[in-house]
Amino acid sequence: MRRSDTIKCGLERMPNRSLLYATGMPKRAMDKPFIGIATSFTDLIPGHMGMRDLERFIENGVHSGGGYPFLFGVPGVCDGIAMGHSGMHYSLASRELIADMVETVAEAHHLDGLVLLTNCDKITPGMLMAAARLNIPSIVVTAGPMLGGHYKGRRLNLTSDTFEAVGKFKKGLIKKDELQALEMCACPGAGSCQGMYTANTMACLTEVLGMSLPGSATVPAVMAEKRRIAFESGFRIVELIKKNIAPRMILTKRAFENAIMADMALGGSTNTALHIPAIAHEAGVNLPLETFDVISRKTPHLTNMIPGGQHYMEDLDMAGGIPAVLKRLRPMLKENMTVSGLGIRKIAQMAEIFDEDVIRPLDKAYHKEGGIAVLKGNLAPMGAVVKQTAVAQSAMKFEGTARVFDSEETAMKAIIDGKIVAGDVVVIRYEGPKGGPGMREMLSPTSAIAGLGLSESVALITDGRFSGGTRGPCIGHISPEAMEGGPIAIVRNGDRISIDIPGRKVDLLISAQEIEDRLKTWKKPLPKIRHGYLAKYAKLVSSAASGAIMGD
């Protein structure tokens, strides 16, 4: 018996069938598996605007496999467009909305399986959370990365050539005509932003988790191969239903550990420290934040992707994609099943590596350790994260003077106005999951710092988070956050702060007694947003240290 039989079988379901026929469904399709295609198509997001095309190919694949497809929509937020203003409050919070919406549609209509069409930052983890929660046959199709832009023979990308260009222009390093040209040329068309930012990191990890077909993560959005992957995914979901292969059979602890290992090798976005634990939680797998650091210490960094390096997603794809990365990691990979029907080690074995510099051997790694480090100390008792492979060697240990701001906007104004100087530690607080609310990304401040040439001489710490495009000594996810009365709430201008990435420490250089005395006098401020979805979100969301998940 299929799930969809509940809504279409028996005399008492005559009204249900009548409504289904009203959609145009032919009578002969009533006996087929009902496949939901959750599409996050929107004209607002470059990474999603090409999905109308992929929807067709998924539908064709479902029909060819013997199922009947139903498309339904979920919302999407473009982090780049939402960046630097109040819209970013909604980005992380949208992850929970997406998971809830997919759950709602799939359960209300008793769908037999799901194809999840996604691409950008919070949409992919939201859909994976729903798949793990529902535990019905599911397969993910990521729409693919954007090709690099070009200007005067130089290849361009979003972070270096738009966000960081703001600081360069303020410093007089580039002229207005070049600034305008970069604005037009950096993002040439459809696809998720070109480097190992959050969207592409999550696409890569979805493939490693075994929830998408091999090659899905890195094939550019505009390529014919992406259409073929969409078709094969639609065809494959029918097979998964026939064999009753559900997500929790794939999303095991081994799968999550493999994904974190790949994340470290790729030098992925720090946002994975929120998303992977949240997906694991839905799958019933306990995955503490410390797991990232344990795996990072023994996983070499094998790819030098922008923003920290020079390679683009199209380079990674031409070098062999994620299967080729897995081939490098195969000695450490743990066997696990995937939606393709192949085990993850078999996929690694079959892969070819076409560029030894884009995907380096283990003994010639770019860094001995992986991309993310987890720091603790009196400033972050529950932990904080940094993308250590995007930090210059000279800044791996940093001591400086605190410059404290209670919002991103006030910090950004000080940076642009030239009030931040070498030796400063910019502290941006009340931007955590509860305090933001929504844990905004700080790409605008970090990019402005980089554009001003201060990425090795100025540090930034925050209870907010960072885009995958951030580089430099930028410590995020400080937990407990300021709104929960964490120690970051009592930092004062002029305090000294020590960051020791190799030693995994971040400390406020005052006495334990002084910290205790300041915390006693701290008063919780009023919430920044007191109405609507974000007010509800702030009341229910957990700490960044546990993935910023919503309470049950």
C-alpha distances out from residue 420 to 329, 414, 463, 491, Å: 42, 7, 19, 17
| Alpha carbon distance, N-terminus to C-terminus of the chain | 30
Q: What are phi and psi of 146, to 5 degrees?
A: -80, 145
Nearest alpha-carbon partner for 251 in 222, 219, 285? 285
Among 160, 212, 269, 467, the active-site one is: 467
Distant-in-sequence, close-in-space partners of 79: CB < 8 Å, separation ≥ 6 = 88, 91, 120, 121, 122, 198, 441, 443, 467
C-alpha distances out from residue 55 to 39, 226, 256, 427, Å: 7, 11, 28, 44
Report the alpha-carbon distance of residue 449 to residue 197 in Å, rounded: 18
- Token look-up 């990304």 returns 441
Q: How many CB atoms lie within 10 A of CB 209?
A: 29
Nearest alpha-carbon partner for 258 in 181, 329, 363? 329
Query: Beta strands 397-405 and 149-151: pairing type?
Result: unpaired
Give the angle 104-107-109 at the CA atoms, nearest 5°. 105
H or E segment to which residue 273 belongs: helix 272-282
Query: Beta strands 496-500 and 505-508: pairing type?
Result: antiparallel
Query: Beta strands 474-479 and 380-387: pairing type?
Result: antiparallel
User: In the 8-state DSSP scheme, what is residue 416?
Assistant: H
Q: How many CB atoms lie within 10 A of CB 468?
A: 32
The SS3 assignment for 382 reads strand
- Token look-up 């420490």 returns 505
- The helix, strand and coil proportions of the chain, stated in percent and rounded to the nearest 5, come to 45, 15, 40
Report the alpha-carbon distance of residue 14 to residue 19 in Å, rounded: 9
Q: How many residues does the chain have?
A: 552
Report the alpha-carbon distance of residue 197 to residue 468 in Å, rounded: 4
467 is an active site residue:
yes
344, 326 contact by CB (below 8 A): yes
The SS3 assignment for 476 reads strand
Q: 3-class secondary structure for 38-81?
A: EECCCCCCCCCCCHHHHHHHHHHHHHHHCCEEEEEECCCCCHHH
The residues annotated as belonging to the active site are 467
